[in-house]
Amino acid sequence: MKKITIVWILMIILAWGCSQEKPVEKTILGMGTDYVYFPQVLNGKIKELKETNYWAAEKDGKITKGNPATWEDLDSVGSTRNIVAYFDNTGSLTKYDLVDENNVIRYSTIGTIENGKYVRLEDKLKDSTYQYTIPEYDSQGYLVGGKRYSPIVDTLLTSYVIKYDENGNYNKIEFFNFKNQLRGYQAFSLNELGKVIETKFFTGDDTLRQTFVNNYNDKGSLTGQKIYIEKPKSSVSWDVQDLEFDDHGNALMIFSNIDEGKFKLVAERTYIYY
């Protein structure tokens, strides 16, 4: 799907909260991952999810995976990278890796959880921490933002603030520089099921930069995404189809048709369950 910038992935953590009192029977792939703009609710308690991208091929009239899509390929078509996401048995994301076609980890985010809350997230490049985030909570324990630092003398780099609607869904995230000046923000619109149907990206002076519009089927699975870019005026469309499922009902192969056939990708998933 449409890629998310590295800075965004490394800054954000799970705004749905961390762990719960009882083990969940669903696992959310959303905040803290490339799926932040179109979160997925997966069936079962997932320990590890791996997603690998390939160019689509056709065999015996069926769509299947072809050659592996390289890191550069995925960047050129505006796609998410290959990912590996790790969860604890409460459904909290504990580690998130971006890997290349040779299964080499390019970037990682590792979360430290204490008493059911994230207290620190370290962003690593080749096993070295190059920045870390300290989450902030309100008096009721809800995540409301955080600050990102360089490990060199703990220098503040940026901060962010998360805002929620009356139903407890995040609907706005603001980003500030080290001087506490607003750099930009993202506004989310959700449907009655809590699915993100639109995301608008603004600069600090309220200038709209781009808009994501998501479509879902009756089961809540993403079926398409349209990206509208303001400067220069352009758009990109993604049509998405789940091709195969495992015994839990989670997608094993996902076909993406970009701009009516200009590019075609197949994402293959594997799951390890608790």
Question: Tokens 């690998």 — which residue?
Answer: 52
How many whole angstroms separate alpha carbon 214 and alpha carbon 196?
7
Question: Has residue 225 got a pLDDT over 90?
Answer: yes
Provide the β-strand partners of residue 59: 62
What per-residue confidence (pLDDT) applies to 21?
45
Condensed to tens digits (0 to 9), the pLDDT of residues 48-106 reads: 999 999 999 999 999 999 999 999 999 999 899 999 999 998 889 999 999 999 999 99
Helical H segments across the chain, by residue range: 6-11, 71-76
CB neighbour class for 55 (10 Å; exposed up to 12, middle 13-18, buried from 19): middle
Helix H or strand E encompassing 81: none
Token digits of residue 274 = 């608790």
Between residues 263 and 9, which one has the greater pLDDT?
263
- Tens of pLDDT, residue by residue over 113-147, are 998 889 999 999 988 999 999 999 999 888 999 99
pLDDT (tens digit, 9 = 90+) per residue, 161-172? 999 888 888 899
Res 11 pLDDT > 50: no
Q: In the prediction, which pLDDT does 33 show? A: 87
Q: Which residues make beta-bridge pairs with 254?
A: 242, 267
Nearest of 140, 138, 112, 141 to residue 124 by alpha carbon: 112
Q: What are phi and psi of 255, to 5 degrees?
A: -100, 130
What pLDDT was estimated at residue 141? 85
CB-based contacts of 179, cutoff 8 Å, min separation 6: none
CATH numbers and ranges of domains, the chain: 6-273 (2.40.128.720)
Contact 65, 57 (CB under 8 A): yes
Q: Is the pLDDT of residue 14 over 50?
A: no
What percent of the chain clears pLDDT 70, i.e. is strictly above it? Answer: 91
pLDDT score of 1? 55
Contact (CB, 8 A) for 112 and 132: no
Share above pLDDT 90 across residues of the chain, in percent, rounded to a whole number: 72
Q: Between vectors from CA 120 to CA 119 and to CA 122, what angle results, nearest 5°?
A: 165
Q: What is the pLDDT of residues 16-51, one digit of tens each?
A: 444 444 455 899 998 788 887 788 889 999 999 999
Out of 13-27, 146-160, 208-222, pick the least confident.
Answer: 13-27
